[in-house]
Amino acid sequence: MKPKASLVLPVGAGFPKLPPVPHNAKATRRKSLIFAAVVTFVVLLASCPDIAQLHSFPFKLAPSRQIDFKSRCAQPDALFPTQDDVLDDAYARISTPAFRNASIRRLSGAVQVKTESFDDLGPIGEDPRWDVFYNFHDYLEKAFPLIHQHLLLEKVNTYGLLYTWKGSDDLLKPTLLMAHQDTVPVPPETVDAWTYPPWSGAYDGTHIWGRGASDDKNQLIAVMETIELLLEAGFKPRRTILLSFGFDEECSGTRGASSLAAFIKERYGREGIAVIVDEGSGFEQAWGTLFAKPGTAEKGYTDVHLTVRTPGGHSSVPSDHTSIGILSELITMIEAEQYPTRLVNENPYYTQLQCGAAYSPEFPHKLKKLLDRRSSTSAWHQKRWKAEQDFLAIEAAKQGPVIKYLMQTSQAVDVISGGIKVNALPERATAIVNHRINIGETTQVVKDRLTHLAGAVAKKYNLTLHAFDGKEEPSSIILSGSTYELEVAPVTPADASVKGPFSVLAGTVRALYGEDVIVTPGIMTGNTDTRYYWDLTKHIFRFAPGFDPEDEPGLGTIHTVNEKVSVRNHLNAVRWFTLFIRNMDEADI
């Protein structure tokens, strides 16, 4: 068989050489050039078949491969527990005026018990500010008598609460529900700015107001009301139910959650828990769709302390640059460039984008196009994406800083100090930079970058650099980490097409709120007490299951004046926990 003729161009040959043409034959020459260009392009196309889908190419040469995004964002059917007349009647009771009024009183009363936690709290047993939690424990005992009669209560490290409702089947791993008892403090100078006093627990007909109303006494009381309701109805769990309530989450949980987690691990072992639900993200309207976004990942955390030491002296004969000036220059360099926006496939926001592409009528066309190309399994495409900036992340970040920081390590200079007298040169200036680490990166990325920047400043001013080496001397720049540092959390499995805790959670959401709600894994930019529970299970969900369409978006008013929660939100949280506990009890997982 006669082989097909092929055109081979030597490297660097460019267009095929054209025969000479008369000077006045311009039209003929143009046609020849066009012909040569087409021939060359066909040769290039034959040698690189994937070029037709190159995302930066100026026009489309072949139909792009269509991605089935619904298969990447499976939605389970609404999941209801097996019919039981007594338990179903108990669930229906949540909607009655009597239960609503009692629930308002319970949550309002919980808010009225002041349980502030402070960063400078001393040791337990020595600092009397811890004693406020005794008052809260007394309140819970009065508000939920059946729980304290029938469940085992153990106090861990004095103020941590661990309730155990023993199940009948020891082969089933327990369900663990979490919340924290403490709140951030109310600065005295802000009290007058509150619509209702911050410890009043005031009810205005739709909302309960006060510090802790939504962070996190709402969730704690909802869990307790659920258990009390199930006890009243005579529920007998197969699966053990644990309630774990820390008391210093707002100052990193080092005494509360860390002690509780160690206690639980000692009893049930590594991977000894079926599922954990703690406070976290909730619901969001996006692209014309309502999403439930249980947090399946958390960004990492590190604080870096910057210190500049320079000689002191009288300010009437100053040095050209004081320690404050040098520190300011370093801070300016740090803020002049942000960390890159990157979206690795493990980041739950990548799945959220695919869910948007699958179910949202208003999902941006450009994002869907980039997502389609990003989702290609072509080896050539994957190499191309790795070699270039993450265009998908950059485009998605245009939705605003809340979205951007789901895909980017953040940096914030939050604390600065230096100088003690207006006529004395400052010998020491310090600043603290807070970082939340992006999925796919580590705390070392932060340390390397700051070491590089501080090195340039130290060289400029002839100072010694001590970067994370624990040393300090005069005329130097010192970088040091904080006592608390956290790498990025393990990512919880979140494929609803697979039978497991996520499909139970998602099915429960859709049972309560309807199947128009799309459940997608979420990511937490902050950290919860679950940071200490990673060894207990792979299935950790940071989720606020209460929802009211009239709620303020995002984090609402937590950590600021006029914190509040709607009663509708709170009662929906009770409904969700009631369904979830029963669904988990029936799940053989």
| Residue numbering of the annotated binding site | 180, 215, 250, 278, 559
Question: Smallest Cα–Cα separation from 51: which of 66, 61, 38, 65?
Answer: 61
- 3-state SS class at 226: helix
* Dihedral sign, Cα of residue 403, residue 406, residue 408, residue 409: positive
Q: Which helix (H) or strand (E) holds 435?
A: strand 428-437
Task: Read off the tokens for 577.
Answer: 């926990």
19, 75, 494 from 522: Cα distances, Å: 64, 15, 10
| Count of C-beta atoms within a 10 Å radius of residue 379 | 9
Q: How far is the C-alpha of 396 from the C-alpha of 343, rounded, in Å?
A: 10
Strand partners, 285: 290
| Cα-based distances in Å from 564 to 126, 189, 202, 211, 560 | 33, 19, 9, 8, 10
Q: Which of 378, 411, 406, 409 is nearest to 392 (CA)?
A: 406
List the catalytic residue out of 216, 225, 249, 372.
249
Residue 429 backbone dihedrals phi, psi, to 5 degrees = -135, 140
Q: Is the peptide bond before 216 cis (omega within 30 degrees of 0)?
A: yes
Of the candidates 182, 248, 372, 548, the residue annotated as catalytic is 182
With H, G, I as helix, E, B as strand and everything else as coil, classify residue 63. coil
Q: Which two tokens stand for residue 346?
A: 């493990």
Helix, coil or strand: residue 296 = strand
Q: Output the six-digit token pair for 560.
A: 């600021």
Please work out, in degrees rounded to the nearest 5, the angle formed at the alpha carbon of residue 492 by the alpha carbons of 488 and 496: 150
| Residue of 180, 204, 228, 183 lying closest to 104 (CA atoms) | 204
Kindly give the interhelix angle for 501-513 and 567-586, rounded to the nearest 10 degrees.
Answer: 140
**C-alpha distance from residue 64 to each of 23, 46, 86, 356, 369 (Å):** 45, 18, 55, 19, 9
Question: 154: which strand partners?
Answer: 162
The order of strands in the sheet holding 518-519 is 283-286, 289-292, 518-519
Q: Amino acid identity, residue 268?
A: Y
Binding positions for Zn(2+)? 180, 215, 250, 278, 559
Q: Where do the H-state alpha helices sit in 471-532?
A: 501-513
Whether 249 is catalytic = yes
- Residues annotated as part of the active site: 182, 249
